[in-house]
Amino acid sequence: MMPYEPPPVEWAPCDDARIAYGRRGETGPRVLLIMGFTMPGAAWRFQIEELSRDHQVVWFDNRCSGQTEAPIRPLTMSRFAHDVRLLMDHLEWSTAHMVGVSMGGMIAQEFAVEQPQRLQSLSLLATHAGGRTMKLPPHTGLRHFFTTQFAPGRRRKGRALARLLFPEDWLQNVDREWLRAVLTADYGEQPTIGQRLAQLAAVSRHNTRRRLKRLGNTPTLILKPGRDVLVKPKHSDTLHRLIPHSRLVELPNAGHGVIRQEADRVNTLLRDHFSLA
């Protein structure tokens, strides 16, 4: 059975763009969810459904993703982070618990190091600090990534996507119809090649390594999927080393799709982290 389906989007003016966002939950702490490369914000569906029971949850589509309307041009993490600030201003949120996965974790880092006073807490999932020492993904992950983005054939892309996000033994035991429905909902309408390349430009230039020490007073949770083939697990260790007083939790059997594969565990860890911040 498919989980919660997000409501229709709302719109926030952000300079030259209109940011598409959604929200659910009337009371409780404020949580802002930042999605990764090319994915719509609604791909947080498992976290939205659970956390909105007692939190105010907002998610949105980054530039060149989903329904957000913005010019196609090479992007930077600073540009993405600026959009986050304008969205929070539009919502009249002075602070929030911020959660980012993959590229969304890079955006969250960029925002956090520049405006730590606006974060009640920071959670970074399956992401890295960038810089010259951030090498390419392992060969298997790189091959699956380029297949999902640029190869012809929907079925071939679908198989590569599943292997990019999840360990093979987990795929052998999951309900394939359920997984197909979830991935179709989250990845069914991919941005154009131009939009994807614009986001890749930001990923390629991401670097917060020397600035993460500013986050010593920001309660930070780092979730490390132990079987991630896209972002090497060791990069979570680096984040933990660079962010003073951060907490590192490894999910040893999880892949890059950790927010789906281990949704219950992720939701529990996030909820506990928010409550302690």
At 134 the pLDDT is 65
At 236 the pLDDT is 97
List CB contacts of 168: < 8 A, sequence separation 6 or more: none
Q: Do β-strands 10-14 and 247-251 pair in parallel, antiparallel, or remain unpaired?
A: unpaired
Give the CA angle between residues 228, 139, 242 to the nearest 5°. Answer: 50
Domain map of the chain by residue range? Answer: 10-137+192-276
With left for phi above 0 and alpha for psi between -120 and 50, is residue 100 left, alpha or beta? Answer: beta
At 135 the pLDDT is 61
List CB contacts of 124: < 8 A, sequence separation 6 or more: 100, 105, 108, 109, 220, 221, 222, 223, 236, 239
Give the CA angle between residues 86, 272, 111 to the nearest 5°. Answer: 25
Query: Tokens 């404020």, residue?
Result: 30
CATH topology of domain 10-137+192-276: Rossmann fold (3.40.50)
At 6 the pLDDT is 66
Q: Each residue's pLDDT tens digit in the chain (277 positions)?
A: 555 566 678 999 988 999 999 999 999 999 999 999 999 999 999 999 999 999 999 999 999 999 999 999 989 999 999 999 999 999 999 999 999 999 999 999 999 999 999 999 999 999 999 987 666 677 777 788 878 876 666 778 788 889 999 999 999 999 999 999 998 888 877 899 999 999 999 999 999 999 999 999 999 999 999 999 999 999 999 999 999 999 999 999 999 999 999 999 999 999 999 999 8
Query: Tokens 């929030």, residue?
Result: 96
At 98 the pLDDT is 98
DSSP assignments along 71-107, one per residue? ------HHHHHHHHHHHHHHHT-S-EEEEEETHHHHH
Q: Which of 64, 26, 59 is nearest to 44 (CA)?
A: 59
Rounded Cα distance between 263 and 51, Å, is: 11
At 155 the pLDDT is 77
At 160 the pLDDT is 87
Structure tokens at 139: 């060969």
The model's pTM is 0.95
| Cβ atoms within 10 Å, residue 162 | 21
CB-CB contact of 202 with 103 (8 Å): yes
Rounded Cα distance between 108 and 258, Å, is: 18
At 219 the pLDDT is 98
At 151 the pLDDT is 66
Q: Which helix (H) or strand (E) holds 213?
A: none
